[in-house]
Structure 1
Amino acid sequence: MVKPFVPQLVYFEPKAMGYPLGKTLYDKFSKMDVEIRETTSHNQVRNLPGDNDFQKYRVAKSTLVVGLRKTLKFDTSKPSAEYAIPFATGCMGHCHYCYLQTTMGSKPYIRTYVNTEEIFDAAEAYMAERAPEITRFEASCTSDIVGIDHLTHTLKDAIEYFGRSEHGLLRFVTKFAHIDHLLDADHQGRTRFRFSINADYVIKYFEPGTSRLKERLEAAAKIAEADYPLGFIIAPIYLHEGWREGYLTMLEHVAQVLPPKAKENLTFELIQHRFTKPAKKVIQKNYPMSKLELDESKRKTKWGRYGIWKYVYTDQEQEEMKELFLTTIPKLFPKAEVEYFT
């Protein structure tokens, strides 16, 4: 079982100490005997320990930077939500395929932002702009926020904030099972709590440093019992030897362990594996022994929103995936909604 994340090294921006959460985290890490350093900015963390890039990358993944979110213009987050709400950046997991490999670039350390009231105020403005329409906010575009929330409780505050809101809904996804502190949050049914799940092969070979499927599903059952709307993201759907059997077994396992009430309001999101040339380069550098298949000649190209070609599965392979999931999910979960396949 993966233990809850504890950073080896913590950096604080000086201005973070002017916020209650900044002071709380400083006191917490001081008592935990974690090494604390100061940095002028969460974007300017230098001199990480390590003799080479390989070592420094791994140290960065266990480093937390406590700072302020200066950019309060939210990115769009289609198809899962209207906007991405930025509470944290980075992740302690080591998923080989993750798109953060390239978007984080040379800064793979984890950042948490303490000016949460300013972030909530920005969200309020976005909601007012679209009212009376509902505005959905995705809290896990650039991080697995559940992975650090046992330390920060930022996500718990956000869940309760959106529980009080009239026109906002919160969504996030996690690969971690450390969710007990969120069970008593006053969510008012306005947060959809999603778990990323996958076939055993994918979790075993490509998702080190994350909770196992059994642990994620046990956590999902607890979340359902706490009356949260529940969802699963199956991502990335990755073709490997025996992939059909692997994904069927996974879905049957989900159906067996979920309590009946969880199946009443359940969503699935389906995302095929994709990669870009820059991502391939970074993945092969950071995980040189990875079994991840990154052969461009086996894929078709698709123009990405960030102005770069990405490599996805062929049309025929995508149809085979859709056939498997879009026939199996309705059989096992008759009331579930498949929100999209991409």
Structure 2
Amino acid sequence: MSSGLLDIRRIYFEAAAAELPRGKEVLAKFPQAQLVEVASHNRIDEVYGDETNVNRWVRIKREALVLGVKKTLAARPNGRSADFIAPSTANGCAMACAYCYVPRHKGYSNPITVFANIDRIEGYLKRHAAKQGVKPAPNECDPTAWVYDIGENSDCSVDARISDNVRDLVTLFRWMPNAKASFATKHVNRDLLDWDPQGRTRIRFSLMPQRDAKLLDIRTSPIAERMAAIDDFVAAGYEVHVNFSPVVVRDGWLEDWAELLGDLDAAIGPAARQQLAAEVIFLTHNRELHEVNLGWHPKAEELIWRPDLQQPKRSQNGSLNVRYRTGAKGEYVAALVGLIGERLPYCRVRYAF
């Protein structure tokens, strides 16, 4: 267990989840935890949907765990990071990044929920990938494999400290000739180095200048530690990409990105460089999350809530998002992509927006 990141003292569980083998394993791992039976993993008033939890947000993330059953299984088409978003084996996170979109959808404290019906999720993925057949043509996700993002709503490197769900998926994709798994992470978990993925799992280490990470990437592994892990994960059989995300525009932002790119170049060897690719994602923020953040981390909002640089955009669910202004944002994107081309000429930019 990662010291300080997780100290599970209370487990909210669905009865059906506790009866499954994976549920029993998770409960046995935390024998001292208080057990609280709930009717549904996503209807826990004490945890979800209560903005007053902002005062104890981090404590809930560290001490609470939810154990449930994933009832709806679907692979949603994506087309950027992955061809499909796989059914979640977990959601929520022990980390507390100030810009994270998940809290605005799933509750403001949002600790980790582990889904115990991993066998059903695996079976669904095997059938879904088999139905796709051979990938007919290369795309920005991958030239030959159908890519499934297995960690859209959680950080798999942290999830792996709680259950074997992630390890089971890495093993599953090892033997799938037409598909590979993918997930982004801000946490270095070296236990994953022993899993022998044989190139069928892509890890995307999220990176940003340390000046930004200090304020925004709360409870995550340091940026230098993430970069230092890349060679080891490549040697262990993972495909390793990087996410330059989120890119925050401020005074001196491009100079700090130039320094980061130089540090990354110095941190990795030939094998990592040969297969490196990047996603570039500029910050999108949300008014509701902004208001919540003001209650626990107002300094972060000075950096990421910039009405002078941003414009509103109404999302499909009716929320008010803000992003950098049209026109100016195109210039920002071009500047950073150009800088990547100069400093990391071997690094393919898979997409940037």
**How far apart, in 2, do the equivalents of 1:328 and 1:298 lie?**
21
**How far apart, in 2, do the equivalents of 1:81 and 1:306 lie?**
22
| CA 1:112–1:301: 2 relative to 1, 3 Å | same
Query: 1:318 is aligned with what amino acid?
Result: K
**How far apart, in 1, do the equivalents of 2:292 and 2:131 lie?**
39
Show the counterpart of 1:269. Answer: 279
| CA 1:157–1:197: 2 relative to 1, 3 Å | same
Whether the aligned pair in 2 keeps the contact of 1:2 and 1:210 (CA below 8 Å) is no
Superposition deviation, residue 109 in structure 1: 2.2
Equivalent of 2:235, from 225, 236, 240? 225
Show the counterpart of 1:36. Answer: 35
Identical-pair percentage: 24
Superposition deviation, residue 314 in structure 1: 2.3
Residues 1:88 and 2:90 aligned together: yes
Superposition deviation, residue 155 in structure 1: 1.1
Can you give the 5+ residue segments of structure 1 that lack an aligned partner in the other structure?
none
Show the counterpart of 1:190. Answer: 200
Query: 1:293 is aligned with what amino acid?
Result: I
Can you give the 5+ residue segments of structure 2 that lack an aligned partner in the other structure?
136-144
- For residues 57-72 of structure 1, the aligned pairs below 5 Å read 57-62=57-62, 63-72=64-73
| CA 1:129–1:283: 2 relative to 1, 3 Å | farther
Moved more, 283-292 or 107-116: 283-292
How many aligned residue pairs are there? Answer: 339
Query: 1:66 is aligned with what amino acid?
Result: L
- For residues 172-191 of structure 1, the aligned pairs below 5 Å read 172-178=183-189, 180-191=190-201
Superposition deviation, residue 186 in structure 1: 2.6
Show the counterpart of 2:160. Answer: 149
**How far apart, in 1, do the equivalents of 2:108 and 2:277 lie?**
35
**How far apart, in 2, do the equivalents of 1:228 and 1:234 lie?**
19
Whether the aligned pair in 1 keeps the contact of 2:290 and 2:305 (CA below 8 Å) is yes
Superposition deviation, residue 303 in structure 1: 5.5
Query: 1:54 is aligned with what amino acid?
Result: V
Query: 1:45 is aligned with what amino acid?
Result: I
**How far apart, in 2, do the equivalents of 1:337 and 1:6 lie?**
39
* TM-score, length of structure 2 as denominator length: 0.88
Could you say what secondary structure the match of 1:264 adopts?
helix
Could you say what secondary structure the match of 2:97 adopts?
coil
Deviations 1:34-77 (A, max 9, x none): 333322221122445x9x53334333322111111111123333
Superposition deviation, residue 304 in structure 1: 4.0
Show the counterpart of 2:110. Answer: 108
**How far apart, in 1, do the equivalents of 2:337 and 2:242 lie?**
14
Could you say what secondary structure the match of 1:183 adopts?
helix
Moved more, 299-308 or 110-119: 299-308
Could you say what secondary structure the match of 1:126 adopts?
helix
Superposition deviation, residue 16 in structure 1: 1.4
